[in-house]
Amino acid sequence: MRVLVVGGGGREHAIVDALVRGGAEVLAAMANQNPGIRRLANEVLLGDVNAVDRIVAWAQDQSAELAVIGPEAPLEKGIVDALEARGIPTVGPTKVAAQLETNKEFTRDLMKTFGIPGLPSYWAFDSYAPFSEFVLDSNFEFVIKPLGLTGGKGVQVWGDHFSSKEGALAYGREILEKKIGGQARFLVEEKLVGEEFSLQALCDGKRLVPCPLVQDHKRAYEGDRGPNTGGMGSYSDADHLLPFVSRLDYDQALDTMRRTVEAMNERGTPFKGVLYGGFMATRDGPKLLEYNVRFADPEAMNILPILEDNFVDLCMSVARGGLPLRAHFAKMATVCKYVVPPGYGTHPKAGEQLKVDEESIRRTGAKLYYAAVDEKDGRILTTTSRALAVVGIAERLESAEAMSEEALASVGGSFYARRDIGKPEVIQRKTEKMRKIRGAP
């Protein structure tokens, strides 16, 4: 089957890899020369992934029979509507259904209207005076969120990004003036305290089929410090839960997502594609931080390599309807670490050469996924985004983490990676923190 894949990052390399394992011939549309995708693909279209008309025309020329959309931006542009209008079934939501990610206020209002659990208190502002009144009257910590897409970098949290009412006021004013996230309007939410986890699920418009839980690390530096990034790495455990997420938390998070899918149906805008719930486990149960309407990056790289079912078949049943009751994943732990250019998070240095000893990485048992690098004259060069990821896969988290480190040792050149991701003592600290938050002795 000929499958169009849009996007050239680590997530898309993992998607392409899983599709090829399932017998697909891949047609890859991407902005950069991702060497991993290029080698696996039958055909490549280089260029802007938001150029919907160009990509759709190419997909038709190439007789694509199915499409999988990696990043959010082309979803916001309506690429799914356009592909399906040409008869190409697609894994991804329509432009209206994509609002679950592209408009944070849409999601909060949907949760409120339909009484969906997991909703924090929130307020919306589109002018400075009422916001300033709210801030001056408030006696609790909150977060400030632009409404639209900001590449995961628009949310500011009290205590992390600002720590006074003046700081909050300044950021609110900046969003209004610069229309950060696309509009002169933003949300304020109560600050949630706990541990974050990611639940990704396949959805055919009706049925939601969950994947193993994953924890991402959005902050640039070790110990979860520094600026927010697209994600520095992530891990998952062999039992498909996380040590600090109870079975009850998991069931409640899944319920929030199932009820969201039902609500989308009821309002006549069914959701199909991959739904990602970013949750905070709190003392009052899991609360939804945000939805993404596609696989997350890095979290796709934790779950796709351990998928035991045929991914092409699963994608077809997402696009056409008729998903099976469940998907099967190997009972393996995974640890993904991103290699990023020096200075990533503030002043990333593009054009640095990375020396990747692929054969040595393969020998460790780890997976290697290329991301936003460019291959020029056989050399792998960094751009300003994340460069490549290694994923250790083993029966125990400790071994998966050790494997990811062994793989990193085979990457040369000047780069940065968060080495703390998936380390046993770090996870132990998170588990202890959650025990305290829950009030356990």
Angle between helices 397-408 and 424-437 (to 10 degrees): 130
* Segment near ligand AMP (CB under 6 A); pick from 187-195, 242-250, 296-304, 408-416: 187-195
State the minimum distance, in angstroms, from the CB of residue 163 to ligand AMP: 14
CA distance 380 to 123: 46
CA distance 256 to 252: 6
Here's the x/- map for ligand AMP, 153-172, by CB under 6 A: it reads as --x-x---------------
192 sits near ligand AMP (criterion: CB under 6 A): yes
Here's the x/- map for ligand AMP, 136-155, by CB under 6 A: it reads as -------x-x------x--x
Of the residues 10, 36, 89, 120, which one makes contact with ligand AMP according to CB under 6 A: 120
Q: Rank residues 198 and 382 by Cβ distance to ligand AMP and give the closer one.
A: 198
Q: Rank residues 281 and 393 by Cβ distance to ligand AMP and give the closer one.
A: 281
- Burial string for 420-435 (b: 16+ CB within 10 Å, else e) reads bbbbeebbeebeeebe
CA distance 252 to 73: 29
- Burial string for 269-305 (b: 16+ CB within 10 Å, else e) reads bbbbbbbbbbbbbbeebbbbbbbbbbbbbbbbbbbbb
Q: Rank residues 25 and 290 by Cβ distance to ligand AMP and give the closer one.
A: 290
Give strand pairing partners of 68.
5, 91
* CB of 15 closer than 8 Å to CB of 5: yes
191 sits near ligand AMP (criterion: CB under 6 A): yes
Q: Rank residues 88 and 192 by Cβ distance to ligand AMP and give the closer one.
A: 192
Q: Is the dihedral of CA 37, 6, 270, 278 positive or negative?
A: positive
Here's the x/- map for ligand AMP, 275-314, by CB under 6 A: it reads as ---x----------xx------------------------
72 sits near ligand AMP (criterion: CB under 6 A): no
3-state secondary structure at position 288: strand
Here's the x/- map for ligand AMP, 229-268, by CB under 6 A: it reads as ----------------------------------------
Binding site for ligand AMP (CB under 6 A): 120, 143, 145, 152, 155, 157, 189, 191-192, 196, 218, 278, 289-290
